[in-house]
Amino acid sequence: MTDTPGLPSSAPLPPEIRAISDAVEVRLRAVIDEEAERWSAIDPDLEAPMRSLGRLVLGGGKRLRPAFCHWAYVGAGADPSSGATVDAGAAFELLHAFALMHDDVMDGSATRRGIPTIHVEFTGEHRRGAWRGEGRRFGEGVAILVGDLAGVYADRLLDGAPPDARRVWDELKIELNVGQYLDVLGTARGGTDLATARRIARYKSGKYTIERPLHLGAALAGRLDELRPAFSAYGDPLGEAFQLRDDVLGSFGDAAITGKPVGEDLREGKPTPMLAIAVERTKAGSPGAALLARVGAPDLTDEEIDELQSLLETSGARQRAELTIQALTEQAITAIGTAPVTAEARSALVALARYVAAREH
């Protein structure tokens, strides 16, 4: 399966990620090529969903979850040439694709990594083919099915993993779904308070991106019980910092870099900690409060996005987010400094913490 032309180029990944990302890329390509060949031989129509999965999985992404899993494994003293973290890393990328496809359907997102989302792509196929039924429902149905396929392939890559690793894997999937439900609920209700917004961020993204990949790496090395506290002390605050950076990018990020429309979180009404802070600091009944009440409105204009961005700045919400990111990152770095891991892994995890905190996409 070849790469799709026109995908936005990504900034070079740091060496701490490249230590595992290239091997994970090769493994992902092999899995997707094999499955595309197998199923298209049965019915040529089955090539399309596989091609779409490949375009998403191979078309970008930071490969953070494989990196954290890899360095936890190395930090536990295991041999990185064993290949255990390659399959685990590929599993993380496929699970992430599963989550992204479902998330895009739930949010009604039009683009992902600078190209049409899968449900938009197949809605277009339905329209061009003048097929029966409602195009939107067809496109969303296909995206859900392709996401489910990605989840199955992710599980299959962890066949034969130690029982401790499977338990971590199962728990992180539950946490991901629980966090996503809270996110959907918070978006629908609006007006989420800061404590709830932080809980959503922790379970929807933070734990699943950093803490649990670290736990999985330790479990693959047979040292989960010993290293779990140290990796949680590092991964929990850094996971929150990661999601806070995502929140800042979701409201202020450059579309040419993030691959998403400017202010997408504001258009979708995401219950972020930054938004909760702005609400807390804006006087009830003021023009600012009325503007904040428009967050998530389907007819939110570009001018209102600009005004909301200004309000997030003038209320101090963005500054508070940046200061919190800095504090959480330093907390994580301090924690890993005393963790019983190899010096090589400690150095890599410090570098990854700084990358997570300062990234632009």
**pLDDT value for 343:** 97
Whether residue 81 contacts residue 92, with contact meaning beta carbons closer than 8 Å, is answered with no
Residue ranges of the chain whose pLDDT lies below 50: 1-9
Give domain status of residue 68, yes or no.
yes
DSSP code at position 82: G
Flag whether 3 is in a domain. no
pLDDT of residue 361: 75
Q: State the pLDDT at residue 280.
A: 92
Residues 6+ apart with CB under 8 A from 97: 53, 56, 57, 147, 150
Q: Which pLDDT value is given to residue 241?
A: 94
Q: What per-residue confidence (pLDDT) applies to 11?
A: 61
**Per the domain annotation, does 63 fall within a domain?**
yes
The pLDDT of residue 191 is 67
Give a three-class secondary structure readout of 104-128: HHHHCCCEECCEECHHHHHHHHHHH
Q: Is residue 110 part of a domain?
A: yes
pLDDT at 145: 97
Residue 7 pLDDT:
37
β-pair partners for 111: 116
Look at residue 193 in the predicted model and tell me its pLDDT.
85
Q: Read off the CATH number of the domain in which 135 is found.
A: 1.10.600.10
Q: What SS3 state is found at 133?
A: coil
**Domain tally, the chain:** 1
Q: Does residue 120 sit within a domain?
A: yes
Selection from 331, 303, 347 nearest residue 239 by Cα: 331
* pTM listed for this prediction: 0.91
* CA pair distance 149, 171, nearest whole angstrom: 19
Contact 112, 7 (CB under 8 A): no
pLDDT, tens only, 308-359:
999 999 999 999 999 999 999 999 999 999 999 999 999 999 999 999 999 8
Range of the domain at 56: 15-358
User: CA-CA distance, 184 to 147, in Å (whole number)?
Assistant: 18
112 in a structural domain: yes
Q: What is the pLDDT of residue 15?
A: 95
Burial degree of 159 (CB within 10 A; 0-12, 13-18, 19+): exposed
Residue 1 lies in a domain: no
Q: Is residue 8 part of a domain?
A: no
